[in-house]
């Protein structure tokens, strides 16, 4: 088993973009990387074989969800999360900070940790920073996350400041707890611990958070609490600000982001890792991503469209099925339709990351970006695809 | 493309069981055969690739459902049902008689046909025998079915008799309509037309129906209107009675049957073809079939059971996942669990049919049956697995 390592292979000259490679106990991950979200020990609608086929190199699990069901001890008994779900490649486990607060509006935060009720059965639980690390030691993911307090948007300065301070002191406790399992006694390999930079939309708090966490020397740094409703330019300004503080040789992970355009914008600002439910959630609503923009498969224009989602796409769905058939499946509430749409959209995301990496390695990231955005239907002055009119291959 | 043909390869000496082979425009099907049910142009939760992998040789579509959504004309425009769903092997389309009556309690039957309301939007439709054949010509299945009136259980003798007479006169009209497309003008291959023997639980009506339909010389004969709530011994007595009348060189299809034990019993009475939603519907409820009986994966005894459903099973689910993981997926409402369970149960059904065929070919059907039932947990004097206590590998 390998130790954890990250090396930058190439930096873009005109932007902050970088292409690199993570070496983890479960193999390599090329960056910038997108991790499909397997909240409950499964990426919705897909098997591990499907995930391999769409080209996913690393997936995400969630400590909050897995602690509640089926339980971290059970997963440990199964031989760890990798064995439990039969996924041999790297996994990152999120601490669940975001879930505690988003699923438990009444969660009580104090110095020692956070008290919350299970969204499943209302039972009470108390997460300390130490407990969250212990859970993640039982899960055995390659990358684990510190407990953070994720504040909603908008939040007052005072509230956000208090939360940054909690998160900072919790990060110290997480480091200490993690050192107890530093050499991977549980599974025979070390796990890499990442800190999470919070600070809501306040630049000085983000700066303060980043600076104090960097002193603790983590294997990587996440930027949390963004993409929660704030304007897109705020997201990117704060991402850029934080990345200027974070050490260049460490991984940078922008949590919960985003659309293809968001990812491209964030890569240009120095981000290496992403996760988002968007491709799979949209797919389950019948809307898939393509290089020409989003394609809402339910639309009547596809009733007798016997071409694949994208004739140039190499995914299992595009090789075998037509838009008309997918539309029929989705409109008939056939589960198969949700899976086939998810396969396409995750394959699209993985191909997008591959294209981004290739462009950076070849030193043409900006040129590639311009071309991609044009084909995707985004005007240059825009930073968000939300502004633009849906484009269904009908330009 | 081949014409339709059926040849018997071996007859069992002690029972009515026979092993044979169907030659159809889309290839061979070994009999006795089990057809997974793809009501709405999809076997629920599965893709065509999954169906190939579980070993399905022929699947079933439904004219009633496909006429209503997405429409038989649309499927014709797609190049037929095979192309629409990307399934290159044989398909049988049911006429939808059963669906009209089960989904439309107010359906009105008269000499010309049946008037019913769509279960989707309440719109009125009128199915004549000719219309149902025309729909199936547009779908292009290898085997198509006559329109029948399927009466509920119990039905009065008078009602059942009237229905047999309708079904008989409709069969004549279906034959006439079918001759118009006898050489497969639509797709370049001929479709085989099967009649359906009705008659509720009345032996003389079943006999009358079978005898009059045999005179019309169909490519095969289905036994319909059974397994609708009548006692199991009635099902088997009537199956045996009808099979004694049906010509030996023609295919016999027992519609909507059944459990593994039902199938074995019916094979011993001369049935060649089966279809049933049981393996897939049960799987979606978390209950899978195994050679040791049914396994309700939700049960708490499987919480930390890290063995596959059946260690000797070669299906994709058993090769990759444990009972504990499947239980977790199903209890967490993860769609992937429904698919993985469906894959196992359909693979089990296809393996069962393979074992049945092998036993008949080797002249050991009865011996094999005895061994199978013992392992499955059925006492010899029983004919139905419903009587027995659930057996979860804990004998």
- pLDDT digits 0-9 by tens, A303-335: 999 999 999 999 999 999 999 999 999 999 999
Residue A378 has pLDDT above 50, yes or no: yes
> Per-domain residue ranges for chain B?
5-275, 282-387
User: Per the CB < 8 Å rule, is B336 touching A47?
Assistant: yes
Q: What is the pLDDT of residues A214-250, one digit of tens each?
A: 999 999 999 999 999 999 999 999 999 999 999 999 9
Q: Which residue of B has its CA nearest to A325?
A: B84
Contact A327, A296 (CB under 8 A): no
Q: How many Å lie between the alpha carbon of B69 and the closest alpha carbon of chain A?
A: 8
- Match domain B5-275 to its CATH number in 1.10.260.30, 3.20.20.105, 1.10.3720.10, 3.20.20.70: 3.20.20.105
Please give the residue of chain B at the shortest CA–CA distance from A51.
Answer: B336
Task: Fold for A5-276, please state it.
Answer: TIM Barrel (3.20.20)
The residue among B310, B285, B311 whose CA lies nearest residue B296 is: B285
Report CA Rg, chain A.
21
Structure tokens at B2: 């081949």
- Residue A193: DSSP 8-state: E
Q: Nearest-CA residue of chain B relative to A321? A: B86
Which positions in chain B touch A340 (Cβ < 8 Å)? 47
pLDDT at B181: 76
Q: Give the predicted TM-score (pTM) of the model.
A: 0.95
Going by pLDDT thresholds of 50, 70 and 90, the confidence category of residue A103 is confident
Which residues, 6 or more positions from A333, have their beta carbon under 8 angstroms from its beta carbon?
A: none
Q: What is the pLDDT averaged over residues B298-319?
A: 98
Q: Which residues of B does the annotation mark as catalytic?
A: 94, 275
pLDDT, chain B, mean: 94
Which chain B positions have a beta carbon within 8 Å of A318's beta carbon?
none
Interface mutation vs chain A, best among B41, B48, B49, B70, most A CBs within 10 Å: B70
Compute the Cα dihedral for B36, B42, B48, B53 and give only its sign: negative
Query: Known catalytic residues of A?
Result: 94, 275
Residues A60, A30: Cα–Cα separation, whole Å: 15
Residues of A in contact with B49 (CB under 8 A): 316, 320
Q: Does a cis peptide bond (omega within 30 degrees of 0) precede residue B154? A: yes
Taking CB atoms and an 8 Å limit, are A320 and B40 in contact across chains?
A: no
Average pLDDT on A153-172 reads 96
For residues A228 and A153, the answer to whether their CB atoms sit within 8 Å is yes
pLDDT value of position B2: 57
As a whole number of Å, the CA-based R_g of chain B is 21
CB within 8 Å of A121: residues ≥ 6 apart: none
Residue B70 and residue A321: Cβ atoms within 8 Å? no
Which of A42, A49, A87, A308 is the best mutation test for B, with the most CBs of B within 10 A? A42
Whether the per-residue pLDDT at B108 is higher than 50: the answer is yes
Residue B102's pLDDT band, with cuts at 50, 70 and 90, is: confident
State residue B390's pLDDT score. 40
Top-confidence residue, A102 or B181:
A102
pLDDT band at A180 (very low <50, low <70, confident <90, very high): confident
Helix pair A365-376, A335-361: axis angle to 10 deg: 150
Q: Which of A297, A328, A337 to probe the B interface (max B CBs under 10 A)?
A: A328
What does the DSSP 8-state code read for residue B216?
T
Q: Kindly determine whether residue B325 and residue A47, on different chains, have CB atoms separated by under 8 Å.
A: no
Q: Report the residue from B45, B85, B334 with minimal CB separation from A44.
A: B334
Beta strands, E only, chain B: 5-11, 18-24, 27-31, 33-35, 59-62, 91-94, 108-110, 113-117, 124-127, 143-145, 192-197, 220-223, 251-254, 273-275, 287-290, 293-296
DSSP B227: S
What is the pLDDT at residue A390?
Answer: 40
Kindly tell me if the per-residue pLDDT of A1 is higher than 80.
no
Q: What is the pLDDT of residues B233-250, one digit of tens each?
A: 999 999 999 999 999 999
Query: How far is B316 from chain A, CA to nearest CA, in Å?
Result: 10
Minimal Cα–Cα distance from B321 to chain A, Å? 7
Residue of A nearest to B319 (CA): A86
Q: Which residues of A touch B329 (CB under 8 A)?
A: 41-42
| Kind plus residue range of the DSSP H or E element containing B172 | helix B157-179
Can you give the pLDDT at residue A190? 92
Mean pLDDT of B146-172: 96
Contact (CB<8Å) A41/B329:
yes
What are the chain B neighbours of A321 within 8 Å (beta carbons)? 86
Distance of CA B126 to the CA centre of its chain: 25
């Amino acid at each position: 088993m390998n130790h954890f390592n990250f090396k930058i292979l190439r930096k873009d000259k005109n932007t902050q973009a970088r292409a690199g490679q993570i070496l983890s106990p479960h193999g390599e991950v090329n960056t910038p990387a997108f991790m499909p979200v397997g909240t409950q020990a499964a990426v919705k609608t897909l098997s591990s074989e499907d995930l391999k086929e769409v080209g996913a190199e690393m997936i995400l699990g969630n400590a909050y969800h897995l602690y509640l069901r089926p339980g971290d001890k059970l997963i440990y008994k199964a031989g760890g999360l990798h064995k439990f779900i039969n996924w041999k490649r790297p996994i990152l486990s999120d601490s669940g900070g975001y879930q505690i607060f988003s699923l438990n509006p009444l969660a009580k935060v104090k110095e020692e940790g956070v008290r919350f009720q299970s969204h499943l059965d209302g039972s009470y639980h108390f997460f300390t920073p130490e407990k969250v690390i212990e859970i993640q030691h039982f899960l055995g993911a390659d990358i684990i996350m510190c407990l953070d307090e994720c504040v909603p948007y908008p939040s007052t300065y005072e509230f956000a400041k208090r939360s940054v301070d909690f998160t900072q002191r919790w990060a110290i406790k997480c480091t200490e707890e993690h050192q107890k399992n530093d050499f991977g006694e549980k599974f025979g390999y070390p796990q890499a611990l990442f800190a999470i930079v919070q600070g809501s939309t306040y630049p000085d708090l983000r700066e303060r958070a980043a600076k104090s966490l960097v002193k603790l020397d983590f294997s990587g740094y996440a930027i949390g609490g963004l993409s929660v409703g704030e304007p897109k330019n705020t997201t990117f300004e704060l991402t850029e600000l934080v990345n200027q503080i974070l050490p260049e040789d460490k991984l940078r992970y922008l949590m919960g982001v985003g659309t293809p355009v968001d990812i491209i914008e964030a890569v240009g600002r120095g981000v290496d890792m992403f996760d988002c439910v968007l491709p799979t959630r949209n797919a389950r609503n019948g809307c898939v991503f393509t290089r020409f923009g989003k394609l809402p498969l339910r639309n009547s224009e596809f009733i007798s469209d016997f071409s694949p989602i994208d004739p140039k796409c190499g995914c299992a769905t595009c090789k075998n099925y037509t838009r008309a058939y997918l539309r029929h499946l989705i409109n008939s509430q056939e589960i198969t339709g949700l899976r086939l749409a998810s396969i396409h959209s995750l394959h699209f995301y993985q191909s997008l990351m591959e294209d981004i990496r290739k462009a950076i390695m070849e030193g043409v990231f900006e040129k590639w970006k311009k071309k991609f955005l044009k084909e995707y239907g985004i005007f240059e002055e825009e930073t968000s695809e939300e502004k633009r009119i849906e484009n269904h291959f009908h330009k």
